[in-house]
Amino acid sequence: MSEIHPYRSKFFTLAALALCALTINAQTTISFSEKKAAGSLNGQTITSTLDGFSLTVTDTKDKVTVDESGARFGTAESNTRYEYRLKSGGKSGTANNMSIAVPASGTLQVCARTGSNSATDRNLVLTQDGKELYNKVVQESDATSITLDDGNESKVYPIISVAVNQGTVEVTYPTGSMNFYAFTFTPGTTGISSTVETQKANDGATYNLAGQRVDKNYKGIVISDGKKVIRK
């Protein structure tokens, strides 16, 4: 019968713990990759690679669609382009709304744009257990202009970031239509934010709860000088 060397056993234990930590803190994104006709998403639940993280759409009046229209989200220094968007087709109500199932405490990030570039009053509301996590106007002027590597100009829209608990987050847009590009969930971000607070407390920069450096246009919960701040 073979024996496991104590050092090898310790290595396996450390490797397992490291793998567990990576799994706990892994980001998962729900985005869209094909067109969807009006009425096809009512009652549908869009799942992710993380068990328990999903998006459910209510659209009893056949307004919600998915079309191809790319946009970048993030900061001038670090951003992601999404090629498809979910269009609400109108303001939220009992016939038009969304909910997000969250499997654990963590951070929810929403990539959203106003449904009208000229509108200045369309707010996005995120609610959990009757408490508003976010209620701000989303408008075209929130975007930052950048120059891409090929020399072309592009806009980058800020990512909305909120702390969430296990349960359901209600997504509403009571003033007018909203376009959604992606929803990202990072579980266990309390540990991440604590690490960021410790490591970045004195460098003068600002970071989101995922540990990414952000600029002055970023809205949501950030860490600046080792302290959590809500930017509005």
What's residue 192's pLDDT? 39
For the segment 85-100, what is each residue's pLDDT rounded down to a tens digit?
A: 999 999 999 999 999 9
Q: Has this prediction a pTM greater than 0.95?
A: no
Paired residues of 179 in beta bridges: 87, 113
Q: Which two tokens stand for residue 153?
A: 């100009």
Burial class from Cβ neighbours inside 10 Å (0-12, 13-18, 19+) for residue 8 reads: exposed
Lookup result for tokens 């369309």: 122
The model's pLDDT over 104-145, given as tens digits with 9 standing for 90+, comes to: 999 999 999 999 999 999 999 999 999 999 999 999 999 999
- Matching residue, tokens 């009046």: 61
First to last CA, the chain: 64
Q: Name the residue ranges covered by the structural domains of the chain.
A: 28-231
Determine the number of helices (DSSP H) and then strands (DSSP E) in the chain.
2, 18
